[in-house]
């Protein structure tokens, strides 16, 4: 492994010691270890995102489908803007820093810092552009209502959300999952508390809910920085070689995650554009109840990616075992959610969203396919083939985009859910055979 020597590109910053891997975070334990750490990360994500879910329920009950549709559009807009460059940079940094954590901890630290600087710089540029163009974009998506306000709020909140995810990625890279749980607990309180208080006081309006979202994004960022700064604040400005290593791997995967986020949220955007804000609110209510499955999938990816990156030739065997366990648990969970959908909707939303039950059942099956695909996708990444990930997700975006244009006018919201499901079935069918054909190939550590 080549060790970088100081160069003119390296500007000294205040000293922060390189953080060695935590003694308790050894990458051992096999599939049971993966399951336990996945449960930790799932718990962390559930804590934070359950707050988003519960806040959404309060907004849906207080404002009705039309304004809830605008609120959901703002959250989706923030999610999309946060992907520029987004989770692709985070996961690339996790993957690359994993190569150097034991042999060159300072370079691993510098890689995380470089990822944070890239997200900050690019995020500022795109968020500024989104603020300037909010009105014309909103006019195209939602010809009436407060779409401009929703998109402005999305643009402002996106940067805080993106940088918060970076701090969690730094904790993930060092497998500090217990700390992620505590950070997520604080973020959950920050996200839900103000909305619950406004609802209790009878002052929960669309504007108030959106402002609470922005405040929570930056308060969460502050908590994440306090918890993680020692892991990414390197003693030197990252050398050019660090940025080049990150760019050479992360370029394709950043494209893949950006397009993937667009593809996974295109259903709501299409419903909003073609069927109106009220239909978007009803559809968003169904999506809101599928969040636990989505969180379980992202938690599994958060654990499996650094684990497989360290396993070398054993990565394929572990990926197969994790897929089998995840598939069994997913089948049980999806079956229960589909059967319990009618009483669940009545309990959570009351009688105003009954038309979303069938949509919820289809989306639940879709997220089940996504969950069991994650280990295979992680294996593709650790074999250093992000180009395959990017190419496939672009294909999915094209196929589903055409599908929404055809299905929504004929089938309405159910058509959108069917197209959404087809996208994840396509990804599952593509990744599983590819991983099988490449079994036994060594995972790159160079």
Q: What is the pLDDT of residues 210-241, one digit of tens each?
A: 888 898 889 889 999 999 888 888 667 777 77
How many CB atoms sit inside 10 A of residue 249's CB?
Answer: 21
Has residue 1 been placed in a domain? no
Angle at 57 between CA 264 and CA 66, to 5 degrees: 75
Residue with tokens 């949509």: 359
pLDDT of 131: 78
Contacts of 59 (CB under 8 A, 6+ apart): 67, 68, 71, 195, 204, 206, 209
Q: Is residue 25 very low, low, confident or very high in pLDDT (cuts 50, 70, 90)?
A: very low
Q: Which domain holds residue 246?
A: 23-437
Q: Is residue 36 very low, low, confident or very high in pLDDT (cuts 50, 70, 90)?
A: low
pLDDT of 92: 77
pLDDT reading at 115 higher than 50? yes
pLDDT reading at 9 higher than 70? no
Has residue 443 been placed in a domain? no
For the chain, counts of helices (H) and of strands (E): 16, 0
Mean pLDDT check: name the lowest of 47-61, 110-124, 198-212: 47-61
Q: Is residue 86 very low, low, confident or very high in pLDDT (cuts 50, 70, 90)?
A: low
Has residue 307 been placed in a domain? yes
pLDDT reading at 114 higher than 50? yes
How many domains, the chain? 1
Has residue 173 been placed in a domain? yes
What angle, 0 to 180 degrees and rounded to 10, lies between the N-to-C axes of helices 105-132 and 87-100?
170
Has residue 305 been placed in a domain? yes
Distance between first and last Cα of the chain: 7
Residue-wise pLDDT for 269-279, tens only, equals 899 888 887 88
Has residue 407 been placed in a domain? yes
Residue with tokens 């370029």: 251
pTM for this entry: 0.62
pLDDT of 88: 73
Work out the average pLDDT over 82-86. Answer: 72
pLDDT of 12: 35
- 149 or 422, which is more confident? 422
Work out the average pLDDT over 121-143. Answer: 75
pLDDT of 222: 92
Q: Is residue 402 very low, low, confident or very high in pLDDT (cuts 50, 70, 90)?
A: very high
Cα dihedral 170, 185, 124, 148, rounded to 10, equals 150
Residue 46: both structure tokens together: 């559930």
pLDDT reading at 8 higher than 50? no
Has residue 442 been placed in a domain? no
Residue-wise pLDDT for 342-399, tens only, equals 888 888 877 667 778 899 999 999 999 989 888 888 888 777 777 888 888 889 999 9
pLDDT of 7: 35
pLDDT reading at 49 higher than 60? yes
Has residue 54 been placed in a domain? yes
Work out the average pLDDT over 435-441. Answer: 56
Residue-wise pLDDT for 288-342, tens only, equals 888 778 877 777 877 777 677 766 667 777 888 888 888 898 899 899 999 988 8
């Amino acid at each position: 492994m080549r060790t970088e020597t100081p160069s003119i590109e390296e500007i000294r910053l205040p000293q922060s010691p390189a953080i060695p891997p935590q003694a308790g975070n050894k990458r051992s334990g096999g599939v049971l270890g993966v399951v336990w750490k996945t449960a930790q990360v799932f718990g962390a994500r559930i804590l934070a995102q359950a707050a988003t879910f519960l806040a959404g329920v309060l907004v849906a009950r207080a404002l009705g489908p039309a304004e809830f549709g605008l609120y959901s559009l703002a959250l989706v807009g923030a999610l999309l803007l946060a992907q520029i460059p987004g989770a692709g940079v985070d996961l690339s940094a996790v993957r690359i820093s994993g190569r150097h954590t034991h042999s060159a901890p300072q370079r691993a630290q510098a890689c995380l810092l470089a990822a944070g600087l890239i997200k900050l710089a690019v995020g500022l540029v795109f968020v500024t552009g989104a603020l300037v163009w909010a009105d014309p974009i909103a006019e195209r998506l939602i010809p009436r209502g407060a779409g401009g306000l929703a998109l402005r709020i999305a643009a402002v909140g996106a940067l805080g959300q993106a940088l918060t995810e970076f701090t969690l990625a730094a904790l993930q890279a060092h497998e500090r999952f217990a700390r992620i749980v505590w950070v997520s607990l604080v973020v959950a309180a920050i996200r839900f508390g103000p909305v619950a208080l406004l609802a209790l006081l009878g002052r929960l309006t669309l504007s108030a809910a959106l402002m609470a979202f922005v405040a929570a994004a930056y308060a969460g960022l502050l908590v994440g920085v306090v918890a993680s700064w020692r892991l990414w604040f390197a003693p030197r400005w990252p050398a050019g070689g660090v940025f080049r290593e990150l760019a050479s791997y992360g370029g394709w995967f950043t494209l893949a995650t950006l397009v993937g986020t667009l593809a996974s949220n295109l259903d709501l955007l299409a419903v909003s554009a073609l069927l109106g804000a009220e239909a978007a609110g009803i559809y968003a209510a169904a999506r809101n109840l599928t969040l636990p499955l989505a969180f379980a999938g992202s938690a599994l990816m958060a654990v499996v990616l650094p684990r497989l990156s360290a396993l070398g030739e054993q990565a394929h065997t572990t990926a197969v075992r994790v897929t089998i366990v995840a598939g069994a648990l997913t089948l049980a969970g999806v079956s229960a959610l589909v059967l319990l959908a009618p009483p669940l909707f009545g309990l959570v939303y009351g009688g105003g969203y009954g038309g979303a039950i069938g949509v919820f059942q289809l989306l639940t099956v879709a997220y089940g396919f996504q969950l069991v695909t994650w280990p295979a996708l992680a294996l593709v990444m650790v074999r250093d083939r992000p180009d395959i990930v990017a190419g496939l997700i672009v294909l999915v975006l094209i196929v589903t985009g055409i599908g929404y244009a055809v299905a929504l006018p004929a089938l309405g919201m159910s058509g959108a859910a069917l197209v959404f499901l087809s996208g994840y079935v396509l990804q599952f069918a593509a990744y599983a055979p590819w991983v099988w054909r490449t079994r036994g190939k060594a995972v790159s550590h160079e």
